[in-house]
Amino acid sequence: MRPVRDSLLLLSRSTAVKRIVTTLPLSAGLVRSYVPGEDTEDAVRAVGELAADGIEATIDFLGEETVEPEQATATVQAYRTLLARLVAAGLADRAEVSVKLTAIGLRLEDGERVALENARSICRAAQRAGTTVTIDMEDHTTTDATLAIVQELRQDFPDTGAVLQAYLRRTEDDCRALAGPGIRVRLCKGAYDEPIEVAYTDPAEVDRSYVRCLKVLLKGEGYPMVATHDPRLVEIASALASRYGRAQGTYEFQMLYGIRPAEQRRLADAGERVRVYLPYGEEWYGYLMRRLAERPQNLSLFLTSLISK
Ligand code: FDA
């Protein structure tokens, strides 16, 4: 399966393939199963539906690798509009937002400064709405800049969350650095195509790293956000939380919209805090390709939807 995964991750960066694929109507079954819609209202509706099941959300306005300053500004505005709509709908206590720094300027000239200023603007809007921001983690070339920006943001907005990827060899050390009081850290396996010098590529090694990182975060004084659909890791996280005397609600489980929804509800019904990552918008191509890479079995569904177009 690895060559299929690597090819899909490569295609996720191809603008030519993107042009073809994005002519598919969003309602094409597969896209719709991972992305509830393109508009703010679609996102707000999905938050309401999750809330009815006792599940919270973190909303991502889709987009990444922005090379136009106007596009970065438009993304910031989209988050502001979204946060205002959540307040108006009475759902701001059920949802926070997730932000990719390359969507708000990290790749532009003077990118770190631009991304920091834009992220501040989103954090201010989130704070006014009474909710929080988590900064997504992208490929390893952005890790240092992303962690530095999160650290800056945390000076004024201490609730700003960071994301760490268990497949990176450096991550256990990053977990130790971010296990301090109150720090919100989402731990995921990692979704990009990374070289062996910086990342574990054997899935079993990634899982072992995930468990080591979980131990550091759950033993620590921060707020771990356990982002995985892997049944074994969910079980291990629950067992470690008990071992380290963590009450439910002092950590949370996170999953992606449309993946293992029954498990999301089972955990919530068992009293766990559960949050679903909810992407919306027109720029779903890169996100969809990463989801296909994680589960190449879905590729046949995807190809069928292309052919029947
Ligand atoms: P794994 O891929 O081993 O999957 C375990 C099981 O989950 C599979 O056997 C299958 O049952 C199910 N499953 C997984 N993916 C599926 C799919 N696409 N379709 C259907 N079923 C699927 N990554 C990143 O690099 N930066 C980030 O900021 C984030 N943010 C993030 C937030 C949240 C809330 C989650 C849950 C994940 C991320 N990720 C991420 C993605 C993450 O790195 C990883 O790629 C996916 O979560 C898949 O890894 P699992 O841990 O689920 O294990």
DSSP notation for 187-211? EE---S---TTTB--SHHHHHHHHH
- Asked whether residue 15 is domain-assigned, the answer is no
Specify whether the CB–CB gap between 151 and 114 falls below 8 A. Answer: no
**How far is Cα 157 from Cα 124, in angstroms, rounded to an integer?**
8
Higher pLDDT, 289 or 277: 277
Mean pLDDT of the chain: 93
Question: Catalytic one among 94, 186, 275, 291?
Answer: 186
- Asked whether residue 296 is domain-assigned, the answer is no
C-alpha 64 – ligand 1 centre gap (Å): 18
Residue 253: what residue type?
Answer: F
Lookup result for tokens 């990342």: 199
- Asked whether residue 301 is domain-assigned, the answer is no
Please compute, for residue 254, the number of CA atoms within 13 A of its CA located in the half-sphere on the CB side: 22
Cα of 150 vs its chain's centroid, Å: 15
Is 156 one of the catalytic residues? no
- Write out pLDDT tens, residues 176-203: 999 999 999 999 999 999 999 999 999 9
CATH number for position 103: 3.20.20.220
C-alpha 110 – ligand 1 centre gap (Å): 32
Tally of structural domains, the chain = 1
- Asked whether residue 267 is domain-assigned, the answer is yes
Nearest CA to ligand 1 atom 4: 230
Nearest CA to ligand 1 atom 15: 294
Nearest CA to ligand 1 atom 6: 230
- Asked whether residue 63 is domain-assigned, the answer is yes
Nearest CA to ligand 1 atom 53: 230
**How far is Cα 163 from Cα 132, in angstroms, rounded to an integer?**
14
C-alpha 256 – ligand 1 centre gap (Å): 7
C-alpha 294 – ligand 1 centre gap (Å): 7
- Asked whether residue 218 is domain-assigned, the answer is yes
**How far is Cα 152 from Cα 150, in angstroms, rounded to an integer?**
5
Mutate to test the pocket of ligand 1, among 102, 188, 205, 291 (most ligand atoms within 8 A of CB): 188
Mutate to test the pocket of ligand 1, among 9, 198, 284, 294 (most ligand atoms within 8 A of CB): 294
Alpha-carbon distances, residue 273 vs 29, 55, 252, 269 (angstroms): 29, 7, 5, 9
Mutate to test the pocket of ligand 1, among 256, 276, 291 (most ligand atoms within 8 A of CB): 256
The region of weakest confidence among 8-12, 64-68, 92-96, 166-170 is: 8-12
How would residue 1 be classed by pLDDT, with cut points 50, 70 and 90?
A: low
Question: Running DSSP on this structure, what letter comes out for residue 247?
Answer: P
Q: What are phi and psi of 72, to 5 degrees?
A: -60, -45
Specify whether the CB–CB gap between 101 and 119 falls below 8 A. Answer: yes
Question: Which range of residues forms the domain containing residue 218?
Answer: 36-283
Q: Decide if pLDDT at 308 tops 60.
A: no
Paired residues of 275 in beta bridges: 56, 254
Is 186 one of the catalytic residues? yes
Provide the pLDDT for residue 221. Answer: 97
Provide the pLDDT for residue 309. Answer: 46
**How far is Cα 71 from Cα 61, in angstroms, rounded to an integer?**
12
Percent of the chain whose pLDDT exceeds 90: 80
- Asked whether residue 29 is domain-assigned, the answer is no
- Asked whether residue 22 is domain-assigned, the answer is no
| pTM score above 0.90 | yes
Please compute, for residue 251, the number of CA atoms within 13 A of its CA located in the half-sphere on the CB side: 29
Specify whether the CB–CB gap between 22 and 285 falls below 8 A. Answer: yes
C-alpha 246 – ligand 1 centre gap (Å): 24
Specify whether the CB–CB gap between 185 and 224 falls below 8 A. Answer: yes
Decide: helix, strand or coil at residue 158: coil
For residue 292, the ligand 1 atom closest to its alpha carbon is: 18
